[in-house]
A = this chain, B = another copy of it.
Amino acid sequence: MRDKSKLSERQRNILRFMESYIENFGFPPTIREIGEATNIRSTSVVNYNLNKLVQAGHLARLNRKSRGIRLTSQQPQPVRKARQQMRVPLVGQIVASAPLPIPEDMGHYPDPENAIEVSPALIGNTDPAEIFALRVKGDSMIDAMIQDGDIVLFRKQETASDGDMVAVWLEERGETTLKYFYREGERIRLQPAHPTLEPIYVSAAGCRVQGRVMSVIRTL
CA distance A219 to B110 in the complex (A): 22
Closest to A194 in B: B142
Q: How large is the interface on A (under 10, 10 to 19, 20 to 34, 35 or more residues)?
A: 35 or more
The answer to whether B30 and A28 touch across the interface, beta carbons within 8 angstroms, is: no
Q: Give the Cβ gap from A111 to chain B, nearest Cβ, in Å.
A: 7
Copies of the polypeptide in the assembly:
2
Say whether, besides A109-B13, A109-B37, A142-B145, A121 and B219 are in contact (CB < 8 Å): yes
The answer to whether A66 and B165 touch across the interface, beta carbons within 8 angstroms, is: no
Closest to A105 in B: B39
Residues 1-32 of A contacting B (Cβ, < 8 Å) = 12-13, 16-17, 19-20, 25-28, 30
Asked if A187 CB lies within 8 Å of chain B CBs, one says no
The answer to whether A147 and B193 touch across the interface, beta carbons within 8 angstroms, is: yes
Q: Please, which residues of chain B bring their CB within 8 A of the CB of A139?
A: 195
Q: Please, which residues of chain B bring their CB within 8 A of the CB of A68?
A: 27
Say whether, besides A111-B16, A119-B118, A146-B145, A26 and B75 are in contact (CB < 8 Å): yes
Q: Give the Cβ gap from A149 to chain B, nearest Cβ, in Å.
A: 11
Q: Please, which residues of chain B bring their CB within 8 A of the CB of A117?
A: 83, 119-121
Of B66, B67, B122, B220, which one neighbours A213 at CB under 8 angstroms?
Answer: B220
The answer to whether B216 and A218 touch across the interface, beta carbons within 8 angstroms, is: yes
Q: Give the Cβ gap from A215 to chain B, nearest Cβ, in Å.
A: 5
